[in-house]
Structure 1
Amino acid sequence: TRGTALLHQHHMGWMPWAGDMPDSRGGAMVSDRMGTTTGYALDKLQLSGGFFVHPGETVYEGMVVGECAREDEMVINAVRAKEKNNIRTHSHDDAVKLPAPKIHTLETAIEWIAGDELVEVTPKNIRIRKRHLGLEERRKSNKKTS
C-alpha cells in the first residue's frame, strides 16, 4: 500500500488454541556486491519488497538489504547506477520517491533473522547479514544441509 491504507481491527472473541502462528516473514533481499546504494537501483527494486537501507548507504556482498514478498532469498544489485548518455529527457530524470526503510532495533533484528543469518552490531549500525557472505559459499552450505 506504500502508506495509503487504513487498518481496522475488531475482536471476535476468545477461541481454543489452534496451533502455532504461521510465520509471516518474507525472504531476504541480499546484496550481491560491495558499494554504495543508489536511489535508481532501489527504485527499480521497490516492487519486489521493502528495504532496510537508505540510498547512499554502504553495503557489502551477503548483507541483507530488504525483505521480499517471496519466501526464498533474492540476490539483488542495490548499487546499480543509471547509465550516462548525452540525450537529456525530462521524463526520465524524475526524482526518485522511495518509502522510508524499516530500521531494525536489536530486538526486531534478532526476531527477523533465519537460521542462516546473523545480526551484526556496531556502535553506529545494526545490520543483518548472511552467515556465508559469498553466493557460492551459500549454495555449498545449502547443499550440505539438505
Structure 2
Amino acid sequence: MAAALLLRGLRSSASRAHAHSLSHASSPSALGSSLLRRLYSSAAASTAASPALTPSGVMDPSRIRNVAVIAHVDHGKTTLMDRLLRQCGADIPHERAMDSISLERERGITIASKVTSVSWKETELNMVDTPGHADFGGEVERVVGMVEGAVLVVDAGEGPLAQTKFVLSKALKYGLRPILLLNKVDRPSVSEETCNEVESLVFDLFANLGATGADLAEEQLDFPVLYASAKEGWASLTFTKNPPDNAKNMSSLLDSIVQHVPSPKADLEAPFQMLKNKNAFHS
C-alpha cells in the first residue's frame, strides 16, 4: 500500500506542476526509501482525458496501473519504453529516452530503474524501466516489490536467458502476473513456430519457478502473450511479422496492461506512508 501511495503521490505532484517533458528528467542515486527519487523521470504525457479524480481531488486508485518492464539485457525494454511514450503522446528528443545517466547512454544499457507516467484511455500508467544486466539485478527486486504488474520482454529469436529467469523469479515471488511480450518477431529468423517454442519455454520457466495455477485469483500460469517489434513500434495479440498500417502501434499492449494489471490497493483515508532505508546521525 505504501508503494502505491508513493507512486500516486508522485504522479499527482507531476500533474499539478504540468511537468510533462523529458528535458527535465533526472535519476538520483539512492533506492529503498529514496527509490522514487531515483525512479522519477518527468516524461509524463497525455493523449486522452485525464484519469478521474475523487471528490477530494485525489486520483481514483482504480484508474492507476503500476507496471515494471523486465527482461534480459538487450531484449528491448528501453526501446519498448520509448515506443510506449510516443504512443501516449510524449515528445521524445532522442532514442533511449529513459536512460538519463551519461554512462547508460555511453554503454547502451540501463543501470538505474526509472519511472514515468503516461495517460491511456483515462487510466494513468506508472511505467518502470528496469536494468537487464546481472550486475544491477538488485534494482529489479526492489522495483517489483512496489508495483502490481510486469511486462516480461523476451527476444523471440533468443528465447528466455539467464536474466529472464532471474527477473521472472522476482516478479513471481511478489505475486505479480506478468504479461509476456515476445519482441523482435519481425526478424527474418523468427517464425510463428519459433514463437510457439519460445512461449513453451517461458511457460516451463513459469512452472519451474513456482507460478501458481490452482488459485483462480492468482493464475500466474495463465499469462497473456503478445508479439511485438519495439524497434518498429507495434504490438499484436496474434502472431504477425507485418501488421496492417492501422495496427502498427502499441495499443494492444497498453490495453492489455489496463485489463490485466490490477489497480493498487490504497486507503485514501489512511495517514501518509513512505519507505525508509537509511538513518544517519551527525554529532
Q: Give the TM-score normalised by structure 2.
A: 0.19
**Larger relative helix fraction:** 2
Q: Give the TM-score normalised by structure 1.
A: 0.30
